[in-house]
Amino acid sequence: MKVADKKRVLREMLFARRFEERCYEAYVERKIGGFLHLYPGEEACAFGVLEAARAGHDYVITSYRDHVHAIKSGADPKEVMAELYGKETGVSKGRGGSMHIFDVKHRFMGGYALVGGPFPLAAGIAKAIQMKGGDEICICFLGDAANNQGTFHESLNMAKLWNLPVLYVCENNLYGIGTRIDRSTAVVDQYKRVSGYNIPSAQEDGQDIELVYKAATKAVNHVRSGKGPYFLELMTYRYRGHSMSDSNAYRAKTEERMWSKRDPVIMLRDRLIDAGQITLREYKHMDTEILDEIENRIIAFAESSSEPDVAGVENYVLAENDPWVKGGVH
């Protein structure tokens, strides 16, 4: 990665971290309802992979831990926050919520709340790309625990069988909600599990964005060149519980301390400082700017936006005035 890119991505990752932390506060304040799954600790996965891809050109799909992937794909953070607040100005017009962020104009194809649900959807998006003949790829981010769903195996099989341009990124944070991976999964190394489908794969440190970027570049190039699917496993850790309702009592403090020393934001920051490319003072200034932006631009927008009109509760169930419902146009 070029120095300028590293500095920009540091800012973007710090923004994502502060955005998610502010979501936490808003949830505690009961401004955000429902379930809320946060991304701190895993930032280098989304940022490293999507730096290697073409935002707004390639299609991205993921699970319910989706705010940061949407923002990195091009969604306006204030519209993401407004969605969490359930407002009409939200990306999904207040109908989706935290787990269903969509921004189709930036080809962010959504967050889905059934574990493993996006596996076949991603293969289908790739099938449509193949039919249209474009050079886009579809990138599907899911956690390690999703790999124990049948859709994982069904989709990998079809993706390879039909040579579909899909990159599956496994964000392996070692826990499926509160169950550690070795207690739920016979083969702990996820990249090995795809060998049964003859799909090339790799495992990489998901905390070091430069390593993620490098591995993802190889993966993206493979898929874009028409060689079919690829599976990239990134070893990572979430700093909070699975969701806000998770007491997080199942993880050893020593383990948490170990991973906190491998914070993807701090690692990149310190690397840039050590190389003389930024100063700590510049970093702190950047942080202040970000906090200010989140409070005064993003939260303010979400707070001041209107809720959806109740009269519209039945909108978006079916297509409006679709002529074929009446048997077409004659």
Partner 1 sequence: MAEMMYWEAIRRAQDEEMANDPMVFLMGEDIGVAGGTYKATQGLYKKYGEHRVIDTPISENGFTGLGIGASFLGARPIIEIMSVNFAWLAMDQIFNTAAKVRYMSGGQLEAPVVVRSPGGTAHQLGSQHSARMEKVFMGIAGLRVVTPSNPRQAYGLIKSAVRCNDPVFINEHERMYNMKGEVPDEEFFHPLEGSDIARPGRDVTLFGYNISVHWCLQAAETLAKTYGIEAEVVDLYALNPLDRAGIRESVTRTHRAVIVEEAEPAVGVGAEVMAIINEECFFELDAAPVRVSALNVPIPYNHKLEVAALPDVDDVVNAVRGMFGL
The answer to whether 91 contacts partner 1 (rule: CB under 8 A) is: yes
For residues 228 and 160, is the Cβ–Cβ distance under 8 A?
yes
Torsion region of 198: left, alpha or beta (phi above 0 gives left; psi -120 to 50 gives alpha): left
> Is residue 88 within 8 Å of 310, Cβ to Cβ?
no
Quick one: which of 120, 143, 200, 241 contacts partner 1 (CB under 8 A)? Answer: 120
Phi, psi of 19 (to 5 degrees): -60, -45
- What's the sign of the alpha-carbon dihedral 25, 27, 29, 31? positive
Other C-beta atoms closer than 10 Å to the C-beta of 182 total: 10
Q: CB–CB of 43/25 below 8 Å?
A: no
Per CB under 8 A, the segment of 92-100, 173-181, 214-222, 299-307 that binds partner 1 is 92-100
- Which residue of 62, 155, 172, 236 would you call a contact of partner 1, by CB under 8 A? 155
Taking the least distance from each CB to partner 1, the nearer of 47 and 119 is 119
CA nearest 122: which of 107, 101, 144? 107
Angle at which helices 3-28 and 264-274 pack, to 10 degrees?
Answer: 150
- CB of 226 vs partner 1, minimal distance in Å: 14
Query: According to the binding rule CB under 8 A, does residue 162 interact with partner 1?
Result: yes
What character string, x for contact with partner 1 (CB under 8 A) and - otherwise, covers 181-220? ----------------------------------------
Q: Are 44 and 68 in contact (CB under 8 A)?
A: no
Q: Which of 4, 131, 186, 311 binds partner 1 (CB under 8 A)?
A: 131
Q: Does position 32 bind partner 1 by CB under 8 A?
A: no
**In the complex, minimum distance from the CB of residue 281 to partner 1, in angstroms, rounded to a whole number:** 42
Q: Count the neighbouring beta carbons within 10 Å of the beta carbon of residue 145.
A: 22
Q: How many residues bind partner 1 (CB under 8 A)?
A: 53
In the bound state with partner 1, the residue whose beta carbon lies nearer, of 103 and 263, is 103
- 221, 304, 306, 315: which one contacts partner 1 (CB under 8 A)? 315
Q: Which residues bind partner 1 (CB under 8 A)?
A: 59, 61, 90-96, 100, 102-105, 109-110, 112-114, 117, 119-132, 150-151, 154-155, 157-158, 161-162, 315-319, 322, 324-328
